[in-house]
Structure formats: structure tokens, C-alpha cells
């Protein structure tokens, strides 16, 4: 699976605070990586329709069993609502047993700084 490029579901207003969320997942097995990839298209479609989503991207290294997400949101509440949605919650819950390691980071940026930089996301996750 190639990197899914930065997608903008809802253009943010200029000069506003944006809430950024980054994650890094490593699955226990290649089977777990395959399960992650199979669930990705549905979750990706969900992000593209999510209220308050200002942008998202995903990097995948399935043979290394590693996946990164990077997204920008109107508010922490918008992110929380998406995480609990009927699109995301079953996908993430169904993969929990497959995960070896997970890391998360949150920070804020100006909407003028979008799209986000993967180098910054990796720095925040380290």
C-alpha cells in the first residue's frame, strides 16, 4: 500500500488553531498488517466524510508491519467523535489484539501550516 496523500475533507478557516493527531502502529505479525490494510479503505472513506476533519494522510510499510497516521482536526472533540464513530471504532477495536506497539502524539498548529509535515510527525512520535 503506498502512502495515502494528504486529503482535505473540510478546508479549515485561515489563521485558526488546528488540533493534530499522529499515530504509529506496529502489528505483531504480517497477518496483522494485512488485516490493518484491509480495514484502511473503510476508515479512510470515513475520514473523508468526518465533520471537523481538516486533513489526513497515512504511511504504510506492511512488510515491516508498521503504519503511521497523521491528521488535523477542528477540535479534540471532532477527533474523539470520529474515533468513536461506527466507521473507526469497530476497525480499531478489531485490530487491538494484532498490535505489538502503538504510539500517539497530539499538538496544535495554525491552519496556515497545513498540510502537515511527516518529519514533524515522526519527531513528535519519538
Comparing 89 with 34, which gets the higher pLDDT?
34
pTM for this one? 0.90
Res. 99 pLDDT band, cuts 50 70 90: confident
Beta bridge partner(s), residue 25? 67, 102
**84 class by beta-carbon count within 10 Å (0-12 exposed, 13-18 middle, 19+ buried):** exposed
| Domains in the chain with CATH codes | 4-125 (3.30.70.100)
User: Are the CB atoms for 81 and 126 separated by under 8 Å?
Assistant: no
Mean pLDDT of the chain: 91
Res. 1 pLDDT band, cuts 50 70 90: low
User: Are the CB atoms for 20 and 71 separated by under 8 Å?
Assistant: yes
The residue whose grid cell reads 494485512 is 34
Residue 96 has pLDDT above 80, yes or no: no
Residue 30 has pLDDT above 70, yes or no: yes
User: Are the CB atoms for 52 and 81 separated by under 8 Å?
Assistant: yes
Q: What is the bridge-based pairing of β-strands 4-7 and 66-73?
A: unpaired
Amino acid at each position: 500500500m503506498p502512502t495515502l496523500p494528504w486529503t482535505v475533507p473540510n478546508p479549515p478557516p485561515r489563521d485558526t488553531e488546528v488540533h493534530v493527531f499522529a499515530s504509529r502502529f506496529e502489528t505483531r505479525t504480517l497477518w496483522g498488517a494485512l488485516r490493518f490494510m484491509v480495514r484502511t479503505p473503510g476508515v479512510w472513506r470515513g475520514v473523508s466524510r468526518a465533520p471537523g476533519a481538516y486533513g489526513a494522510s497515512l504511511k504504510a510499510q506492511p512488510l515491516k508491519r508498521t503504519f503511521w497516521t497523521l491528521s488535523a482536526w477542528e477540535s479534540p472533540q471532532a477527533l474523539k467523535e470520529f474515533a468513536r464513530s461506527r466507521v473507526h471504532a469497530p476497525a480499531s477495536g478489531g485490530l487491538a489484539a494484532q498490535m505489538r506497539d502503538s504510539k500517539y502524539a497530539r499538538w496544535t498548529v495554525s491552519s496556515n501550516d497545513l498540510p502537515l509535515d511527516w518529519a514533524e510527525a515522526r519527531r513528535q512520535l519519538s
